[in-house]
């Protein structure tokens, strides 16, 4: 059994630990001046090879694509390139801090794409907040990219932007704050329910927060078998129910008002949580956003996902003391980290390998099941319900599951066997890891000295 890391520490130690990454970031970002760069992937045996890669040789390749547009995937890197697009309006919960201030986040996302999934991703921060301008601009990017990752766009426009781009584009468009968060939370929930011996179709689920993440989390829970009537959403003004006329102009929230909360529970989180089996929170950073007495009012063997960053809505040991059986947070220094980085690299790897035209809910569920299955094979316990980011094999498993589901649904441009999908994912992911390590060893990536 894994050692339980959720021990009590002093407030001063917690603050120091929480501040350490920020302190290091302020030193290391200017040292490296960003986190990604472009390097050649083809051989350059001599300067004569430029006649092959550029003019005159490249003209024959251009003409071939002109005659057969689908050959763009064969002749170029389009099938492995993803645009990480943001307007800077909701950067890491910091709010609207602008596109320039969002670049470090998008670069970091691109780095994770490459190292964990072998995907070439590029930050594209747009100097507009107009949703229609965002849609128009992203559509113009389609020729070069095999997929689009929307990131840190404020709600409710993030729903509109995603929906419209998915309708209009012939490549997968994904909003990680929605689909990525939901996929990883579902994976953790599948195994958490195994630990407590409950079924998705039976449990009462309270979702604290009704933003982009939790709206999608609840949607995917329902897709996986949770009954809408067993869900209750709570936002800053209270529970979502049919009497919340203030939400009629918010399509997604109003939809949840109409289909969830069968008993029309009104009031605050303290009213909604009584007798709940699951609390799935994606709300305000804590601590003390969730009170211990609220957890105590839940059913026996309760599950608590407190995913706010950098501080969860309640400290995990406090949730345990209050009676929770399984607790997950968004932090790597506690057990059961529910982190988007477990999702998008492997999901896009599988999506790109079959040149899929979109990413469906069923593909997200396939990824969640692959994550859950991997952790189950390793050995589940209440402190290990989801794989760690440091287990690279899990991204291969996700990629295979997602690619096969895309083929099954008829949205893949090419069909690969399970063996071929596995080989492709293993090669691309291991190449990315080896390349980074080799460049560090050779001093091409300079070592940072404090």
Co-location of 281 and 255 in the same domain: yes
Q: Identify whether 7 is part of a domain.
A: no
Co-location of 151 and 266 in the same domain: no
User: How many Å apart are CA 410 and CA 414, to the nearest integer?
Assistant: 10
8 — pLDDT class (breaks 50, 70, 90):
low
Co-location of 166 and 184 in the same domain: no
pLDDT recorded at residue 11: 60
Co-location of 201 and 247 in the same domain: yes
- For residues 125 and 88, the answer to whether their CB atoms sit within 8 Å is yes
The 10s digit of each residue's pLDDT in 343-386 is 999 999 999 999 999 999 999 999 999 999 999 999 999 999 99
Co-location of 304 and 344 in the same domain: no
Co-location of 191 and 307 in the same domain: yes
Average pLDDT of the segment spanning 30-49: 95
**What percent of the chain has pLDDT above 90?**
90
Q: Is the pLDDT of residue 287 over 80?
A: yes
- For residues 379 and 401, the answer to whether their CB atoms sit within 8 Å is no
Question: Whole domain around residue 151: which residue ranges?
Answer: 28-41+58-171
Q: Active-site residues: which are they?
A: 54, 109
Instruction: Answer with the one of 288, 307, 329 that is the final residue of a domain.
Output: 329
59 — pLDDT class (breaks 50, 70, 90):
very high
Domain of 126, CATH number, reads 3.40.50.10380
* SS (HEC) of 13-79: HHHHHHHHHHHHHHHHHHHHCCCCCCCCCCCCCCHHHHHHHCCCCHHHHHHHHHHCHHHHHHHCCHH
Q: Identify whether 236 is part of a domain.
A: yes
Domains identified in the chain, total number: 3
Average pLDDT of the segment spanning 377-399: 96
163 — pLDDT class (breaks 50, 70, 90):
very high
Co-location of 185 and 297 in the same domain: yes
Co-location of 205 and 305 in the same domain: yes
CA atoms within 13 A on the CB side of 327: 24
- Eight-class DSSP state of 124: E
20 — pLDDT class (breaks 50, 70, 90):
confident
Co-location of 306 and 194 in the same domain: yes
Q: Which of 301, 299, 226 is nearest to 262 (CA)?
A: 226
Write down the mean pLDDT value for the chain. 94
Co-location of 166 and 183 in the same domain: no
Q: Is the pLDDT of residue 10 over 80?
A: no
Co-location of 271 and 141 in the same domain: no
The 10s digit of each residue's pLDDT in 247-278 is 999 999 999 999 999 999 999 999 999 999 99
Q: Identify whether 49 is part of a domain.
A: no
Co-location of 153 and 193 in the same domain: no
Domain of 183, CATH number, reads 3.40.50.720
């Amino acid at each position: 059994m894994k050692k339980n890391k959720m021990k009590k520490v002093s407030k001063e130690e917690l603050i120091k630990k929480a501040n350490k990454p920020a302190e290091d970031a302020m030193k290391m970002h200017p040292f490296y001046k960003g986190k990604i760069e472009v390097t050649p992937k083809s051989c350059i045996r001599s300067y004569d090879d430029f006649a092959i890669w550029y003019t005159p040789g490249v003209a024959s390749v251009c003409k071939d694509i002109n005659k057969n547009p689908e050959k763009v995937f064969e002749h170029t890197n389009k099938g492995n390139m993803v645009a990480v697009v943001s307007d800077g309006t909701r950067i890491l919960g910091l709010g609207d801090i602008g596109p320039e201030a969002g670049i470090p986040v998008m670069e970091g996302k691109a780095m994770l794409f490459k190292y964990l999934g072998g995907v070439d991703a590029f930050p594209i921060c747009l100097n507009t907040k107009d949703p229609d301008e965002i849609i128009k601009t992203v559509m113009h990017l389609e020729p070069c990219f095999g997929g689009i990752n929307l990131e840190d766009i404020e709600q409710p426009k993030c729903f509109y932007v995603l929906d419209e781009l998915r309708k209009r584009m012939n490549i997968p468009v994904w909003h990680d704050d929605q689909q990525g968060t939901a996929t990883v939370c579902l994976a953790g929930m599948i195994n958490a329910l195994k630990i407590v011996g409950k079924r998705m179709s039976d449990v009462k689920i309270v979702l604290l927060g009704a933003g982009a993440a939790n709206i999608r989390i609840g949607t995917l829970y329902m897709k996986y078998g949770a009954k809408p009537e067993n869900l209750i959403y709570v936002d800053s003004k209270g529970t979502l129910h049919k009497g919340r006329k203030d939400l009629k102009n918010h399509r997604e929230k109003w939809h949840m008002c109409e289909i969830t909360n069968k008993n029309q529970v009104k009031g605050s989180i303290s009213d909604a949580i009584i007798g709940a089996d699951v609390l799935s929170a994606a709300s305000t950073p804590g601590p003390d956003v969730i009170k211990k007495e609220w957890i105590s009012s839940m059913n026996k063997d309760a599950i608590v996902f407190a995913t706010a960053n950098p501080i969860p809505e309640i400290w995990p040991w406090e949730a345990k003391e209050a009676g929770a059986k399984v607790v997950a947070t968004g932090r790597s220094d506690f057990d059961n980290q529910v982190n988007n980085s477990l999702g998008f690299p492997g999901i896009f790897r599988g999506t790109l390998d079959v040149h899929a035209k979109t990413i469906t809910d069923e593909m997200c569920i396939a990824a969640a099941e692959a994550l859950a299955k991997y952790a189950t094979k390793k050995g589940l316990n209440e402190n290990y319900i989801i794989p760690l980011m440091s287990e690279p094999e899990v991204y291969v498993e996700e990629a295979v599951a997602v690619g096969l589901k895309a083929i099954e649904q008829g949205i893949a441009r090419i069909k690969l066997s399970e063996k071929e999908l596995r080989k492709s994912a293993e090669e691309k992911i291991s190449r990315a890891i080896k390349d980074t390590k080799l460049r560090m060893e050779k001093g091409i990536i300079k070592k940072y000295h404090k």
